[in-house]
Amino acid sequence: MARGSESRFANRVVVVTGGSDGIGLATATQFAAEGAHVYVTGRRPSALDAAVAAIGNGAVGVSGDVADPADLDRLYDRIRRDHGRIDIVFANAGISESAGLDAIDAAHIDRLFDVNLKGTVFTVQKALPLMTAGGAIILAGSAAGSKGLPGLSIYSATKAAIRSFARTWTTDLKTRGIRVNVVSPGMILTPAMDRYLTANPGTEDALKQMTPFARLGTAEEVAKAVLFLASEDSGFVAGDELFVDGGVMAV
């Protein structure tokens, strides 16, 4: 939908962390196409610049790492100067690493906790002074947060914690009229997934067999779910988890 046409997000100020590719990029693109003022973050300046060009519609890229509170301060200072408010936050930035129980070390735990947990907490916490009633926060979960997948115990634990954040923050923010929900993808063909499948022949067929729809999902399908949770269409949805997984968790 082009800017200037009827839109759910006209003039809304939207933050998408981890917006350089995959689900973040697809979501930022859809928000911008529906009239939002979109701000995206990423750790790789060149990839972020390419993403901003692809999103178009006046999107702004602010390079930074959500694990670094100073980088988040720069992001929100920029938005404060430009608009003085934030309407929607998609706390999407995260990393995935695998390690068997016998191979887990402190560095592995620190990397995942710093980005997935601390990064999510401070992304939301530092946005709150700019948010008003009617705002929406969407957290990036994962079906792995509810499944016992081999080699993913620390990653899965971070995603289970994010699911818990949506419950507790819904309680914390209910008097402010700010909704918090989680979108939890299943097997989605992002650039990171594509690299993993290329390095592990035969895995794609196994993942399809796990999925009732017998295919991998697309980043655009997850983005549509995020926009639903950000919109007034989900105005009575709070503290919930929306799986976008082709039926893996339900069947």
Active site positions, annotated: 155
Nearest to 138 by CA among 18, 5, 10: 18
Q: Which two tokens stand for residue 214?
A: 């017998």
Residue 41's DSSP bridge partners are 62
Cα gap 65→124, rounded to integer Å: 14
Q: Which residues contact 165 (CB under 8 A, 6 or more apart)?
A: 120, 121, 124, 139, 180
Q: What is the DSSP letter of 102?
A: G
Cα gap 102→52, rounded to integer Å: 41
Cα gap 181→199, rounded to integer Å: 33
Q: Which residues contact 167 (CB under 8 A, 6 or more apart)?
A: 239
Nearest to 29 by CA among 58, 8, 6, 5: 58
Cα gap 50→226, rounded to integer Å: 22
Cα gap 246→188, rounded to integer Å: 10
Q: Quick check: 207 and 187 in contact, CB under 8 A?
A: yes
